[in-house]
Amino acid sequence: MSQMPVYKGNEFEILKIGYQEHAEYLRAMNIFDWRVVSGFMTIQLILGGWFAGHPSKSLWLSFGVIIIDAALYSCCTMILRISEIRRGETMNTMKNINEAFGLNAVGIYLPERAINSPRPRGHRYIWYYVSMLIGAFGASFVLVWNLLN
């Protein structure tokens, strides 16, 4: 005797639950990314503030701090890049669910319009990378300024 697959007759509920889980996952990823960026910027402010108030004329100390800061920047950008890739996968799954519900098709729910509007293309997270780079340059600038003065 063959059994009917579990998903038969439950397609709507499965898609609904999948959509809700992916939406929550996107929210959690946004919070995580913001914490990575704000943590990195906090470290830059602490470094810049410390070395502005406690100038060091040691070339090796300044060079070492800049190298450590560059390594931290690299780690944070890789974390954000991996998160961006995963976010793309999650968004594609959500787009597929929207397609299955007919939310992107014109005329299914509204005459001459789709429920979902077209999403803009582009990388909105580039500003995280840029702001972190500016923060790293700012902290490095304080170190170099101390050496030159």
User: In the prediction, which pLDDT does 56 show?
Assistant: 85
CB within 8 Å of 25: residues ≥ 6 apart: 90
List per-residue pLDDT tens for the chain, 149 residues long: 567 666 677 788 888 899 899 999 999 999 999 999 999 999 999 999 999 999 888 889 999 999 999 999 999 999 999 999 999 999 999 999 988 888 888 888 888 888 777 777 666 778 889 999 999 999 999 999 988 88
pLDDT digits (tens, 9 = 90+) for 55-90: 888 889 999 999 999 999 999 999 999 999 999 999
User: In the prediction, which pLDDT does 70 show?
Assistant: 95
Q: In the chain, pLDDT over 90 holds for what percent of residues?
A: 52
Q: In the chain, pLDDT over 70 holds for what percent of residues?
A: 93
CB within 8 Å of 72: residues ≥ 6 apart: 40, 43
Q: Where are the domains of the chain?
A: 11-148
Judge if pTM exceeds 0.95. no
Cα–Cα distance list, 55 to 47, 143, 148, 149 (Å): 11, 8, 11, 9
Q: What are phi and psi of 10, to 5 degrees?
A: -115, 15
